[in-house]
Amino acid sequence: MSNSKSPGERLYAIVEQGLCIGCGLCQAVAGVERLRVTKTLSGYLQPVVEGELDDEIVDCIYRVCPGTRIEGLPRSLLEADTRHDNVWGPWRRIVRAWAGDPEIRFEGSTGGVLTALANYLLASKRVDFVLHVKASTTEPSFGEATLSFDESDVFEAAGSRYGPAAPLVDIKAALARNRPFAFIAKPCDVAALRNYARQDERVDRLVRYMLVMVCGGYGTPQGTNDFFRRVGIDPAQVTALRYRGRGCPGPTRVETGDEAREFHYIDYWGEDETTWALPFRCKICPDGIGEAADIAASDTWIGGGPNRVDSVDDPGTNALIARTRAGEELIAAAAEAGALTLEYDIVPDIMSVYQPHQVNKKYAVWARHQGLADAGRIVPRTEGLRIEQLARDLPDESNDFQRQGTQKRIEIGKATEPTPVASDN
């Protein structure tokens, strides 16, 4: 990929054009001596160049970065009898479920199914460890990559993390253990790992399961700080943040020194998706539903979100989408072992009732990408996600509205980030 820009400028273009999610894979590819994914002055986790980059390294980053390339399930994992839905993608089974252990169901996000599956994978010796995210030990609102080797490790990481996290920053070290493991993260992180599998054969050999949460986007650092200030808390005084859990969704708990205050999930996110403070990359995401994963787990709130009354005593129920034969078999085996409780099977149309915002974005995203092209921006490469086909089902005026909306965001600077500079804290 020839370009008049320097390798560093080309790398930074991904960040400056609002496409970086801070997954950490670029650091793994280039090596920490060349670039480091760290908290920058913007508040995000972003790559900062620290050594010599060349075009070959940056070309590789462009091939694997989920800001520049997002694809669906590899063809090798699509079985002849796998069913397909234009919005929800490939599926073999969709079932409502929760963790068989009541404590895990209570502590985990929604019904605790990802925590339960991680525990089952370890207990059954299907994997030797799980690579996932826990609360950061240095930034209260962030997540950080962690390896779990037993149930206590997994339990420590239970619950959602809505802040920046870099689960792939040390993926080479995880692969170097040469032991089978599972990866649990956001859909974009799994898309990145699938991309990287084309560069490193160890991924397909060692990563036995890829599990995701269906994701509406993660919270911006500015949005989180605005929440703190809105409820009368100085962001600099926050020592711990639990976004949800201990019920469904459970309280958002903020600790400052010896004091702890709890708020409703809606206090953090707002009443509906129009109030969500999301990075630009999340607004143009073509796959929040985890099409590249073996299993995707979602909330099951009718209409896409909880209310202040009914959610108080909600014990939590997930919807599990098994996309691969391995994912389908894992759900059945975990249920047989008591790790999961399965309620009843559902179909994609029910998922659309639970996750209408995912449906809306899936239809809108192709036009949003055209808006990027109109502005001369990097357009993420997509394959197997049907976004152009879905856009053809919309009236021209709807696509024009989305396309022009993206152009407007770019014009007024809402799709642009400053060149990354490492923060001092």
**pLDDT for position 313:** 80
Q: What is the pLDDT of residue 273?
A: 80
Is residue 198, in this structure, part of any structural domain at all? yes
- Global pTM reads 0.97
Count up the domains in the chain and report the number. 1
Report the pLDDT value the prediction gives residue 425, as an integer from 0 to 100: 64
Does a structural domain hold residue 296? yes
In a domain, 335, yes or no: yes
Using CB atoms within 10 A of its CB, is residue 176 exposed (0-12), middle (13-18) or buried (19+)? exposed
Q: What is the CATH number of the domain that holds 190?
A: 3.40.640
Domain extent at residue 340: 75-220+273-346
Instruction: Specify burial of residue 152 (Cβ count, 10 A radius: 0-12, 13-18, 19+).
Output: exposed
What digits encode the pLDDT tens for the residues 87-145?
A: 999 999 999 999 999 999 999 989 999 999 999 999 999 999 999 999 999 999 999 99
| 89 is a domain residue | yes
Helix axes 396-411, 356-374, angle to 10 degrees: 60
Helices (H), 207-324: 221-230, 265-269, 280-283
Residues of the chain with pLDDT under 70: 1-3, 425
Q: Cβ neighbours of residue 53 under 8 Å, at least 6 residues apart?
A: 7, 8, 11, 30, 34, 35
- How many Cα atoms within 13 Å fall on the side-chain side of residue 125? 0
Q: What is the rounded CA–CA span in Å between residue 9 and residue 116?
A: 43
Residue 369 to residue 301: CA distance in whole angstroms: 29
Burial class (CB in 10 A: 0-12, 13-18, 19+), 257: exposed
Structure confidence by residue, pLDDT tens digits, 314-357: 999 999 999 999 999 999 999 999 999 999 999 999 999 999 99
Would you say 166 and 142 are in contact if contact means Cβ atoms under 8 Å apart?
A: no
Is residue 316 within 8 Å of residue 107, measured between CB atoms? no
Is position 14 within any domain? no
Confirm whether 250 is domain-assigned. no
- Find, among 120, 172, 119, 188, the residue nearest to 385 by Cα: 188
Whether the CB-CB separation of 72 and 192 falls below 8 Å is answered with no
Tell whether 352 is covered by a domain. Answer: no
Write down the pLDDT at residue 1: 44
Residue 417 lies in a domain: no
